Amino acid sequence: MKKILIFVVLPIIIIILGYLIYTSIQEPVIFEKNKKFREGLAIERLKDIRTLQVAYKTKFGKFTTGLDTLIDFYKNGQLTLIKQIGSMDDSIAVAQKRVFRDSIKIAVKDTLLRRPGFIIDSIAYIPYSGGKKFEMKAIIGQVSGVPVPLFEASAPYSLLLKDLNRQLVINLNSDRELSSRYPGLRVGSIESPNNNAGNWE
């Protein structure tokens, strides 16, 4: 009986303990690796949202609260580009009225976010969230008494990392809140103008 304990049961216990120690060490490493990967995907989409929001504001004078509106703007909208013929530094050409400006309209989809594999319809969704959309807000805020369009789009960690180690997500959110930082990824801000910067930048 003693031999069975020593040669069979004890090695099994050692293997199980070794495995538990290994997984407890590896879990934060795996979590961090998955977190970085998912953050990379979400950041790319948040940057795309920012690009479209800035173009939308250039055309309409304000940001939109709707991700569907941004997608429609990309698919069907147009941007007006000003093309200058000649140089204002050429005084002779200016005097002869050979310097002028012309405006041309270009489809948004032919101008912005032109990269291989880009799919506009995926821009609204937080990666790995099970189909949850980015949270987006837009307001006209007051900055030194001047009305200024502001927007923010965000992906809380509770959605971006929802199927990862629950305790590590709770710890991450707690750390962010203790240091007065948003527990997730965010671009822009409706509380204070930040030139539409992302909180990862």
d(CA 88, CA 95): 10
**One-letter amino acid of 85:** I
Q: How confident is the model over 18-42, as a mean pLDDT?
A: 82
d(CA 176, CA 182): 6
Q: How confident is the model over 98-121, as a mean pLDDT?
A: 84
Evaluated on CA atoms 63, 68, 71, 76, the torsion sign reads negative
Concatenate the DSSP letters of all residues of 108-124 into one string.
GGGTSS--TT--GGGGG
* CB 150 within 8 Å of CB 138: yes
DSSP letter at 1 equals -
* CB 82 within 8 Å of CB 103: yes
Q: How confident is the model over 59-88, as a mean pLDDT?
A: 87
Q: How confident is the model over 162-167, as a mean pLDDT?
A: 93
pLDDT of res. 5: 59
Q: How confident is the model over 104-111, as a mean pLDDT?
A: 88
Q: How confident is the model over 71-97, as a mean pLDDT?
A: 76
Is residue 175 pLDDT above 90, yes or no?
yes
* CB 107 within 8 Å of CB 77: yes
pLDDT of res. 59: 93
pLDDT of res. 193: 85
Task: Tell me the pLDDT tens digit for each residue of 133-164.
Answer: 999 999 998 888 889 999 999 999 999 999 99
Q: State the chain's mean pLDDT as an integer.
A: 86
More confident residue, 2 or 114: 114
CB atoms within 10 A of CB 33: 11
